[in-house]
Chain A
C-alpha cells in the first residue's frame, strides 16, 4: 500500500445483487488511503460502476443491494446512510456519462452541487470561485444551458458540481468517456491538481488504462465482478499481463492471430 495514514475508505469483500438475481460483484475488497488517487480498471461490465455506486448509495435507485461484506467510510458503515448524508459527509459520485442537468445553466448546475453545503451564500460563492479557477472554460459558459455545451464542458461541469460540496473524496466514473484524447489529458491534469492542492481523494473507474495508471497512485484491475490484480500504478504499468491485455503492447510487438488465441488462454487463467 502507499505510505499514507489510515484509509479513508475500506471495502471488505462485498457482493452486490441486482433485482434479487443478478450477481454483479463477487467479493470485492479495496482500500482508499486519504489523499490518494486510486484507479479501478477493467472492461465494460467488469463491475467498476457498480463498485462506485455501492459506495455512494446510488445502487438502491437501480434496485441493487449489497448482500455481503461491508463498506466503511471513515470507519462508519455507508449502508445506513442515504446518498445525501454521504455527500454531506464528503463522498460524492460523478456519474458515468456526466448527467448534467440539461435545462439548467452551467452556473445553476454548479449551484445544485452546493445543496448540502452549510455556511450560507459566502461559502457557496467561495466554492464557485474555486471551481471557475480550475475550469475557466465553465466561467465563460456560465449562462449557457448545460444541454447545449460540449461533452468536455459537461464533464467539467459534472466534476465542478461535485467540487461545490467540499468533498473529501470524489468517486469519478469514466471521466474519459466520449472525449477527445487531448481533453482527457486536460481533465486528468485537473484531477491531479485538485488532488494535490485541495487534498481531494479520488477513486476513479476508467477503461483508459494507460492514462489512468499515469495519473494514479495505486490501481485495481477488475474482471467479471472480481478484483484480479492490484498494485502500485507504476508497477501495474510495467506488468507484462497488463501491458498485453489492457495497454495493447507486448514484448514482441504486434501479434498475429495464432498468438491471439494464446493470450486468450492466459487471460482465462488470470481471472
Chain B
C-alpha cells in the first residue's frame, strides 16, 4: 500500500477539522459544552463504534476485491450468520461449538452460492452479478428467519458491557467496544497478509482484475469463489456476533450494511486497511459532529453525516482513500 500525499492531507485536514471546530464551537457557543477529557471520550467512543462499521465494510471489500462484484447480500449474510449462531446455541451447543458449526454453515452457503448462482454467470457484466447478489440477499433474509424465527434474540458473549474508566477515571470507555476493536485489528492484519503475500490471495486479486485471464493461467474460479464467499461469510459472522450482542439478533442487522456504504466510499472498495480507516473516520466524525456541532444547528447530524462525507468524497476522490485507481495508460 502506497500512501500518497493527498491521503495524508485528507486525514490531517479531517483531524484538524474535527478538533478545531468543536473547540471553537465550545468557545463561541454556550449551547456546546467542551473540555478535553470529554472531547476525547466522545472521539474514542466514536472511533470504537467506527470499528464496528469497519467489520461490516470488510465483508464487502473482500468480495469486491476478489471478484469485482459489489455484494449487496453482505448485510443478509451478517444476519444469517448471527441467526444461525444463536439458533445453534439455542439447540444446546456450547458457544464455541456453535461458532465452529456456524463457520461450517457459512462454508456450505458459499459452496451453494457458487454452484447455484455464480458458476452460471461467469464472465457476465458486473451489473448482472450485482443483481444476482440482490437476489441472494432477499433469499437469505427470508431463509434465515424461516429457519430460526424472526423474533429478536439475545446473544451474550459473556463480555461485560459495563463502561470502564481509563486515564485516572477521566475518560469512560465501553469494554465491549475495546474488545471489538481488538478483534477487528487482528482480522485486518490477517486478511492483509493473506491478500498480499499468499498464493491464494494473489489469485484472488488476479480474479478481481480479469476473470478470463485468471481462468487462462489455470486459476480455478470455482475454488476461488468458494474461498472468497467463505471468508466473507466468516467476516460476516464476526460482524454478526459483535453487532448481535450489541443490539440483539434481529432483522435490523441486515440494514446496518447501509452504514458500511459511506465507509466503503471513503476507504475505497478494494482496500482492507481502507475499510478500517474509513470506518474510524466515519465513526469518530459522526459522534463528534453530533455532540459538538449539532446543538448549534438543531441536532440530528449523526443520521446523515456519514452520507454527506461520502458525497464529498465521490466528488473529489472517487476511488476513496486507498482504493485502486482505474488504470489508464496514455
Contacts and interface: CB of A to CB of B under 8 A. Distances in A.
Contact of B220 (A60, A84, A113, A162): A84
B209 A56 contact: no
A111 interface: yes
Interface string A37-76: 0000000000000000000101011100000000000000
A93 B212 CA distance: 11
B214 A145 contact: no
Interface string A137-177: 00000000101101000000000011001000000000000
B206 interface: yes
From A83, A112, A148, residue with most partner B Cβ within 10 Å:
A112
A227 B199 CA distance: 41
Contacts of B203: 112, 115
B329 A147 contact: yes
How many B residues are at the interface, by size bracket?
20 to 34
A116 interface: yes
Contacts of B218: 83-84, 86-88, 92, 113, 115-116, 165
Contact of A104 (B206, B212, B215, B216): B206
B210 to A, nearest CB: 5
Contact of A112 (B123, B212, B217, B324): B217
Contact of B217 (A61, A82, A162): A162
B217 A113 contact: yes
A230 interface: no
Given A115-B217, A165-B218, A62 B205 contact: no
B216 A99 contact: yes
B202 A58 contact: no
Contact of A61 (B123, B205, B208, B219): B123
Contact of A101 (B123, B199, B209): B209
A112 B219 CA distance: 8
A112 to B, nearest CB: 5
B327 interface: yes
A148 B326 CA distance: 11
Nearest to B217: A113
Nearest to A114: B199
Nearest to B328: A147
Contacts of B324: 103
Contacts of A86: 218
B41 to A, nearest CB: 41
A150 B213 CA distance: 18
B211 interface: yes
A244 interface: no
Nearest to A158: B213
B112 to A, nearest CB: 20
A95 interface: yes
B122 interface: yes
Contacts of A150: 329
A100 interface: yes
B215 A112 contact: no
B213 to A, nearest CB: 4
Given A62-B123, A84-B218, A95 B327 contact: no
Nearest to B223: A84
A115 B219 contact: yes
A103 B211 contact: no
A129 interface: no
Contacts of A109: 206
Nearest to A102: B327
A87 B168 CA distance: 64
From A145, A147, A161, residue with most partner B Cβ within 10 Å:
A147
A95 B122 contact: no
Nearest to B208: A103
Interface in B186-203: 199, 202-203
A113 B214 CA distance: 9
B219 A103 contact: no
**9 closest Cβ pairs, A-B complex:** A87-B218, A147-B327, A99-B213, A101-B209, A84-B220, A116-B218, A61-B123, A112-B206, A84-B218
Interface of A: 56, 58, 60-62, 82-84, 86-88, 92-95, 99-104, 108-109, 111-113, 115-116, 145, 147-148, 150, 161-162, 165
8 contacts: A84-B218, A87-B216, A99-B213, A103-B205, A103-B209, A111-B202, A112-B203, A162-B217
Given A83-B216, A104-B202, A104-B205, 13 more contacts: A84-B220, A92-B217, A99-B210, A101-B205, A101-B210, A102-B210, A103-B209, A104-B206, A112-B206, A112-B217, A112-B219, A145-B327, A165-B218
Interface of B: 122-123, 199, 202-203, 205-206, 208-220, 270, 324, 327, 329
